[in-house]
């Protein structure tokens, strides 16, 4: 007589739908299911099997939909949503020096960061992002806003040598950073980090102190590397070398570092990044809009570098939409290399999920739908005309899906959006507060 | 005593909202209104004024929204929605010869075109397109589907020298074309046209006959020009020149011609296109995905060419979303030229509306919101988080809006979509039919 399998209790079952696991073999389960308990994935497999094996307190009907890991937006500045589209189509240095820096000096306060981050959380949940990496000021406000929203974040306290909206200089910034790391280390969804801005705004001593402080807390370090020719010129003038080589010489390339952009890196620098297990974050839309260039993503992937995808801040994108970002990534490398096989859909979807998790060095915990991973997933509706007919779900997600198709968002096993209704945010209050900030900024611009 | 202004009757008043007219001066009316009678725009102006002046049988409340001309998708192959994402990320010639051409030979029938075009109409209305230019087979089916859907179209019957799904060769194709022009000329929304495919698939004699036939009906001619290096090589081998020079030598450049792509054109060819008042249609996403290159749009605009925007077919895009296309256009030229001021939002919005109308040589009738133009407009919702805060509505439309924000679509004064409900299409039936085609194509691919 065959033994009846034991029925296990779980908290949540996502039942039906095509499951894109993004595991090492890109396994796709048609009519699949995901079982979740205590915020973790217990099993991913065929629906018929999981239905027999598990009994759930709650289930989500995903039949006729696509289930995939939540997106990892591996580089953004969430609160900059409040400066979305404040000035477009201007030269990078004009944009920074005439608009961004003065506006930030004038407007970036604790409240600005709080409401800007809440707005960003709204936009990200509604478009399927479950984890993001942030670098900004008053980062404890980011941590709090994300904690309330239920999202996952690597929150990097900004470190500069010059005065910033939250510090008079590096010493105060580092003290702030230490307090932040000390207060938040160990939180299940908020990983506090330090974000030394870039080689041209953070000198070698401050950069080394920052990395040393982060190491004491085993905290990640997020920075900008080789975004533009302007940056290369400044670093070359000051240090006689390139940003990657400069960081390598300082001994700062390592598996806790995540480098956004890496647009202007040569073959040797790519090898340094890969050998150093540095995470790289590709931000195609921001790099295109600011005319920074096209990062050598195919070459970085071929070298074995950990490459994730990010939107950058909404001031230079102008949205936080990872589905749009995937399409841009897939397209820009094809035209830049004149090779239509470059950066195919499968690779782009990986960059937007597991690749981003790897680039942030949390790839063991999130990024794919596999047993033991934290339960961060999204359910995509495919009833729109742009999903008809549907030959390949991965192609659909990258090339024709639109982020309003995101129906359900689960982070750490908790439902943050259910049939497009946000469960953790007071969107009316966010709208009111954000509209007030918008009015004040508009009159300052006038 | 001041004379009381006469109150005029109109059919439809769109009341409130920020009106982006896209007139010659890019006039923006905040809290504006549009009055419509007999399918035409009677007046555009401040709401307070138009409310006093007109009494309407019906009104649309657009307060807190953006009102703009419907998009003109100036180059597509509507029925190719049925081949959406059938194969991505492969070499252009492999894609064409191994997949597209065999699939078309096997599957493209009258029914295929009917249902594929209906699906495309659904997708286009739902994303704010009010006019499109089409080139395909069984074009009378396109005309009928568009007529029923209430959209506006320049419908180009495909002409090739080789046998096609609807003709045994050029002679039969031209006979078909003549019947088509004769049957549909004079329709208020369907402009029949001829679509000689390209210089490498249509020989000089057939091309000249086609243009001659079109001239007899004062019909537009739509073709593909200089899309890829492969095309250039073929044209060079056969005619010892480039496609634009070849057409110029044949005397075929003129103000009834619309040339899609123009990716590989030099300065002299740009001058020929501008001097010939040829319409040019830029298809950035298709050109990127197929790795064709980046068309010299800033140079063509500077030369005074009529440049519109198109998605191309869904087999190479993979959607018909003009809002996404605008974002791609705005970004790709900045990074291609390393100039962040290239192709600003205002220019892109014009390309997607009036520019496309001009490129199709119907710019006197549609493309902007001005007295006397046909009443083709859309209303965009701006209540989503990606519209917060909103500093510049044109920047929003190009850089952060998403096409699900299109609430209302009006063509020729008739409401085709109202608060996202489609009024002219049986979407359930389209889904059923299209799913059947999808199944058959899928099994052929397996």
Looking at the complex, report in whole angstroms how far the Cα of residue A338 sits from the nearest Cα belonging to chain B: 5
Domain assignment of residue A179, given as a range: 71-359
With 70 as the cut, is the pLDDT of residue B66 above it?
A: yes
With 60 as the cut, is the pLDDT of residue B328 above it?
A: yes
User: Taking the model in full, what pTM does it have?
Assistant: 0.97
Whether A400 and B84 lie within 8 Å, measured CB to CB:
yes
Whether B327 and A332 lie within 8 Å, measured CB to CB:
no
Provide the pLDDT confidence category of residue B3 given band limits of 50, 70 and 90. Answer: low
CA dist., res. B340 & res. B414, Å (int): 39
**CB under 8 Å to A445, separation ≥6 — which residues?**
A86, B391
Put simply, whether B91 touches A (Cβ < 8 Å) is yes
pLDDT at position B430 is 98
Residue whose token pair is 């949205």 = A319
The SS3 of residue B174 is helix
In this structure, are A324 and A412 located in the same domain? Answer: no
Put simply, whether A440 touches B (Cβ < 8 Å) is no
Q: Closest to B89 (Cβ–Cβ): which among A91, A341, A390? A: A341
Helices A110-126 and A139-149 sit at what angle, rounded to 10 degrees?
40
Contact yes or no for A17/A65 (Cβ under 8 A):
yes
With 70 as the cut, is the pLDDT of residue A181 above it?
A: yes
Q: What ipTM goes with this model? A: 0.97
What b-and-e string marks burial along A63-76, b requiring 16 or more CB atoms within 10 Å of the CB? eebbbbbbbbbbbb
In a domain, B243, yes or no: yes
In this structure, are B136 and B64 located in the same domain? Answer: no
In this structure, are A187 and A295 located in the same domain? Answer: yes
In a domain, B350, yes or no: yes
Residue whose token pair is 């090492």 = A24
With 70 as the cut, is the pLDDT of residue B431 above it?
A: yes
Put simply, whether B319 touches A (Cβ < 8 Å) is yes
In this structure, are B95 and B26 located in the same domain? Answer: no
Mutate to test the interface with B, among A340, A393, A427, A436 (most CBs of B within 10 A): A340
Chain A residues near residue B445 by CB distance under 8 angstroms = 391
CATH label of the domain that carries residue A174: 3.20.20.140
What's the total number of domains in chain A?
A: 2
CA dist., res. B177 & res. B173, Å (int): 6
In a domain, B444, yes or no: no
Half-sphere exposure of A82 (CA within 13 A, CB side): 30
Longest Cα separation, chain B: 82
In a domain, B439, yes or no: no
In a domain, B434, yes or no: no
Chain A residues near residue B119 by CB distance under 8 angstroms = 385, 388
Which residues pair with residue B147 across a beta bridge?
Answer: none
pLDDT at position A445 is 84
**CB under 8 Å to A218, separation ≥6 — which residues?**
A185, A256
Chain B residues near residue A339 by CB distance under 8 angstroms = 291
CATH label of the domain that carries residue A391: 2.30.40.10
Helices A204-216 and A170-184 sit at what angle, rounded to 10 degrees?
10
The SS3 of residue B53 is helix
In a domain, B218, yes or no: yes
Whether A289 and B340 lie within 8 Å, measured CB to CB:
yes
pLDDT at position A95 is 83
Where does a domain end: A340, A359, A378? A359
| Token pair recorded at residue A269 | 């620098």
Q: What is the pLDDT of residues A275-285, one digit of tens each?
A: 999 999 999 99
Please state the rounded mean pLDDT for residues A417-425. 97
Q: Which range is most confident: A273-277, B97-101, B440-444?
A: A273-277
In this structure, are B78 and B62 located in the same domain? Answer: no
Provide the pLDDT confidence category of residue B94 given band limits of 50, 70 and 90. Answer: confident
Q: Tell me the residue ranges of DSSP E strands in A285-343.
A: 306-309
With 60 as the cut, is the pLDDT of residue A17 above it?
A: yes
Instruction: Output Rg (C-alpha) for chain B, integer angstroms.
Output: 21
pLDDT at position B2 is 59
Residues of chain B with pLDDT > 70, as a percent, come to 99
With 80 as the cut, is the pLDDT of residue B5 above it?
A: no
Q: What is the pLDDT of residues B364-409, one digit of tens each?
A: 999 999 999 999 999 999 999 999 999 999 999 999 999 999 999 9
| Token pair recorded at residue B326 | 């605008």
Contact yes or no for B100/B83 (Cβ under 8 A):
yes
CA dist., res. A269 & res. A252, Å (int): 14
With 90 as the cut, is the pLDDT of residue A100 above it?
A: no
Selection from A391, A341, A339, A393 nearest residue B89 by Cα? A341
**CB under 8 Å to A233, separation ≥6 — which residues?**
none
pLDDT at position A4 is 64
pLDDT at position A1 is 53
Residue whose token pair is 């969804």 = A189
Whether A91 and B328 lie within 8 Å, measured CB to CB:
no
Residue whose token pair is 């939002």 = B345
Selection from B282, B222, B285, B276 nearest residue B254 by Cα? B276
Please state the rounded mean pLDDT for residues B224-228. 96
pLDDT at position A145 is 98
In this structure, are A92 and A125 located in the same domain? Answer: yes
In this structure, are A38 and A113 located in the same domain? Answer: no
In this structure, are A105 and A208 located in the same domain? Answer: yes
Chain A residues near residue B292 by CB distance under 8 angstroms = 335
In this structure, are A165 and A245 located in the same domain? Answer: yes
CB atoms within 10 A of CB B435: 12
**What is the phi/psi pair of residue B30, to 5°?**
-85, 145
Please state the rounded mean pLDDT for residues A366-392. 97
pLDDT at position B101 is 84
Looking at the complex, report in whole angstroms how far the Cα of residue B431 sits from the nearest Cα belonging to chain A: 8
List B residues 29-88 in contact with A (Cβ-Cβ < 8 A): 81-82, 84-86, 88
In this structure, are B372 and B279 located in the same domain? Answer: no
In this structure, are B181 and B330 located in the same domain? Answer: yes
In a domain, A2, yes or no: no
pLDDT at position A444 is 87
In a domain, A84, yes or no: yes
Chain A residues near residue B335 by CB distance under 8 angstroms = 287-288, 291-294, 332
Please state the rounded mean pLDDT for residues A246-264. 97
Put simply, whether B149 touches A (Cβ < 8 Å) is no
Please state the rounded mean pLDDT for residues A380-385. 97
Contact yes or no for A297/A350 (Cβ under 8 A):
no
**CB under 8 Å to B107, separation ≥6 — which residues?**
B82, B437, B440, B441, B444
CA dist., res. A102 & res. B373, Å (int): 44
In this structure, are B330 and B381 located in the same domain? Answer: no
The better pLDDT of the pair B446, B47 is held by B47
pLDDT at position A167 is 96
């Amino acid at each position: 007589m065959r033994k009846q399998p034991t029925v296990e209790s779980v908290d949540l079952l996502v039942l039906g739908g095509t499951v894109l696991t993004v595991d090492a073999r890109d396994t796709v389960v048609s009519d699949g299911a995901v079982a979740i308990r205590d915020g973790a994935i217990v099993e991913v497999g065929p629906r018929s099997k999981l239905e027999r094996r598990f009994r759930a307190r709650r289930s989500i009907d995903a039949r006729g939909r696509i289930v995939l890991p939540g997106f990892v937006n591996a580089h953004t500045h969430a609160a900059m949503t409040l400066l979305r589209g404040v000035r477009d189509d201007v030269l990078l240095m004009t944009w920074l020096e005439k608009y961004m820096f003065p506006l930030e000096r004038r407007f970036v306060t604790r409240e600005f960061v709080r409401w800007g981050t809440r707005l960003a959380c709204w936009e990200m949940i509604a478009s399927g992002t479950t984890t993001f990496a942030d670098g900004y000021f008053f980062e404890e406000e980011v941590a709090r806003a994300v904690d309330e929203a239920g999202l996952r974040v690597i929150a990097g306290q900004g470190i500069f040598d010059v005065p910033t909206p939250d510090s008079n200089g590096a010493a105060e910034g580092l003290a702030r950073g230490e307090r932040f790391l000390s207060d938040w280390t160990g939180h299940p969804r908020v990983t506090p980090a330090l974000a030394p801005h870039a080689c041209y705004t953070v000198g070698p001593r401050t950069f080394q102190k920052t990395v040393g402080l982060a190491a004491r807390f085993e905290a990640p370090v997020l920075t900008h590397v080789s975004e533009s020719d302007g940056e290369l010129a400044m670093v070359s003038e000051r240090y006689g070398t390139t940003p990657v080589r400069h960081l390598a010489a300082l001994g700062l390339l390592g598996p806790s570092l995540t480098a956004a952009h890496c647009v202007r890196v040569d073959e040797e620098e790519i090898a340094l990044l890969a050998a150093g297990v540095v995470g790289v974050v590709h931000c195609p839309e921001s790099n295109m809009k600011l005319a920074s260039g096209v990062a050598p993503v195919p070459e970085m992937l071929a070298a074995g570098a950990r490459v994730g995808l990010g939107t950058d801040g909404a001031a230079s994108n102008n949205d936080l939409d990872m589905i749009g970002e995937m399409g841009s990534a897939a397209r820009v490398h094809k035209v830049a290399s004149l090779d239509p096989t470059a950066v195919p859909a499968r690779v782009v979807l990986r960059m937007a999920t597991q690749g981003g998790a790897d680039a942030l060095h949390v790839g063991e915990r999130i990024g794919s739908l596999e047993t033991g991973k934290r339960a961060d997933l999204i359910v995509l509706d495919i009833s729109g005309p742009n999903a008809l007919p549907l030959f390949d779900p991965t192609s659909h997600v990258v090339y024709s899906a639109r982020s309003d198709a995101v129906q359900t968002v689960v982070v750490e096993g908790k439902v943050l959006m259910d049939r497009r209704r946000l469960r953790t945010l007071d969107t009316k209050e966010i709208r009111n507060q954000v509209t007030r900030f918008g009015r004040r900024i508009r009159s300052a611009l006038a």
